[in-house]
Amino acid sequence: MDAGRRRLSLLLLAFPTFALLVLFFHPRAFPVGRYSSTSTSSVVVTAANSTLGFGALLAVSHAASPRREGLLWAANLTGLEITIPEQPVWTEGDLESFRAREGSRISKGSALAWLGHLNALRWFLSSDHQTALILEDDVDWDIALRLSQVPLTATGLRSLLSPENTTTTTHPFLFHRPSIPAAHYWSPPANWEILWLGHCGDKTTPRHIFSRPHVAYHDATVLPHSDLDPATSALLDALSVPEEARLVHRSYWPLCTFAYAVTRASAQRILAAYSTEGEGGCQAFDVRMLEACRDHDWLCYTVTPELFHHIAAPSEISHVDKGGGGGADGAVSKPEDRPKKATTNIGCGARQPGFWVDNEDEKLRAWLMGKVLKGECLVDPWME
């Protein structure tokens, strides 16, 4: 049993009423050098903390999820502290209460996933945290996420939401840091409701983006446009966004709740508005979240290209809908069940198969973690 798993076991014994799976890491700062823009601006990038500047990182994952082992190893590998709130065993009565009384359109698998998100939001509100990033347990991220991607994105958002920024910005590279307390790494919570850091595309238009304040910033870890998915590449090209740059902009049509951040106020708002399927029915939780941003003018912001995307693996929702047990047999994923190709829009994914090391090989795991925490990608994620 490795050290991470021993800590996990001790935690479960110490706090059985909460039954949370938590990985703890000592906070560190990893200086990553100096990034230069096309202008004379530059900034020294210091790595984010183990919760990426949020109060907590929460994963939506049921106890027997085949995705959990890979998620926790990727968190260990990249120095992240992820908490997995325990989900109850959902009953048919729970599902019946959740579904719309008339016109229900949701499948069992999607309903269970929705209930999992609501459970994570309730756990967050039961804590003292002011913000949280909620992850689905099949997401992948670049090994540079903590080292540079998050610090640059947070700087961009703070710049965008600073009271000093009163004009629409096209594409200068903004690195200045407004005078905002360190407690508000992602800008004060009153300034935003949902941050879409992981999604399967925000189906926005140049007209929508140009009509509102937005920022583009240099990020050397962004894949070449030719290697991004076609929709993302087309949007960046239409906006004349250069290579090695990301956008932070008001959300318009963000789909897929791979990774989204909330405040206490927005979590309460989500639970008040979307704790059931709702009148007229709905196919999925992420559709309601999309509607909140698109139709109800919630304060939503999207990062494009995204920082999180789901791994290339079979859908567990589809498995449940086809009569599977949703992992109820307690099975966990094996190496051969892991993704066989690179994750969409992610450069050096932490969950790519080349990074997997068996639990028993503690020395190799420790060596690999040391390399990754220095930002070294030792495998070719794009090799077939």
pLDDT at 322 (0 to 100): 62
How far apart (Å, rounded) are the C-alpha atoms in residues 344 and 53?
Answer: 25
**Burial class of residue 296, CB neighbours in 10 A (0-12, 13-18, 19+):** exposed
Please report, as a single letter, which amino acid is at residue 134. I
Residues 47-72 pLDDT 10s: 999 999 999 999 999 998 999 999 99
Tokens 């690999």 found at: 368
More confident residue, 77 or 327: 77
Predicted local confidence at residue 19, as pLDDT: 33
For residue 313, name the pLDDT band (cuts at 50, 70, 90). confident
pLDDT value for 70: 93
- pLDDT of 259 reads 98
Please give the Cα distance from 123 to 308 (Å, whole number).
Answer: 22
What is the model's pLDDT at position 39?
31
CA nearest to 144, candidates 352, 305, 340, 350 = 350
Distance CA 243, CA 346 (A): 15
> What pLDDT does 28 receive?
25
pLDDT at 339: 62
| Of the candidate ranges 30-39, 139-148, 339-348, the one whose mean pLDDT is the lowest | 30-39
Q: What is the pLDDT of residue 15?
A: 34
Lowest mean pLDDT among 31-35, 142-146, 356-360: 31-35
Residue count (the chain): 384
What's the rounded Cα separation, in Å, for the pair 223 and 383? 15
pLDDT digits 0-9 by tens, 255-282: 999 999 999 999 999 999 999 999 889 9
The Cα-based distances of 330 to 7, 69, 327 in angstroms read 21, 12, 6
Query: How large is the average pLDDT for residues 26-36?
Result: 27
Residues paired with residue 196 on neighbouring β-strands, in sequence order: 260, 302
Confidence at residue 326, expressed as pLDDT on a 0 to 100 scale: 52
Encode pLDDT of 228-249 as tens digits: 999 999 999 999 999 999 999 9
Q: What is the pLDDT of residue 320?
A: 72
Residue 330: predicted pLDDT: 34
How far is it, in rounded angstroms, from Cα 66 to Cα 314?
Answer: 11
pLDDT band at 164 (very low <50, low <70, confident <90, very high): low
* Domain spans, the chain: 3-90+112-372
Please say if the pLDDT value at position 314 is more than 70: no
In eight-state DSSP terms, residue 242 is P
Reported confidence tier of residue 324, pLDDT bands at 50, 70, 90: low
Region 122-150: what's the mean pLDDT? 97
Q: What is the mean pLDDT of residues 331-337?
A: 41
Split at pLDDT 50, 70, 90, the class of 6 is very low
pLDDT of amino acid 183 = 60
**56-60 and 131-136 strand pairing:** parallel
Q: Residue 95 burial by CB count (10 A; 0-12/13-18/19+): exposed, middle or buried?
A: middle
| Res. 310: pLDDT tops 60 | yes
Question: Which helix (H) or strand (E) element contains residue 290?
Answer: helix 285-295
Average pLDDT estimate for 99-115? 93
Strand runs labelled E in the chain:
21-22, 31-36, 42-46, 56-60, 82-84, 131-136, 139-141, 194-198, 215-218, 245-250, 259-263, 300-304, 308-310
Looking at residue 354, its pLDDT comes to 87
State the Cα–Cα distance between residues 227 and 225, nearest whole angstrom.
5
Confidence of residue 315 (pLDDT cuts 50, 70, 90): low
Q: Which of 85-94, 155-164, 299-308 has the lowest mean pLDDT?
A: 155-164
Around Cβ 359, how many Cβ atoms within 10 Å?
A: 12
The answer to whether 152 touches 45, Cβ cutoff 8 Å, is yes
**For the segment 180-226, what is each residue's pLDDT rounded down to a tens digit?**
444 689 999 999 999 999 999 999 999 999 899 899 999 999 999 99
Q: How far apart are CA 148 and CA 30, in angstroms?
A: 9
Average pLDDT, the chain: 82
CB 347 within 8 A of CB 381: yes
Which residues have CB under 8 Å from 89's CB, separation 6+? none
Cα separation, 207 vs 84, whole angstroms? 39
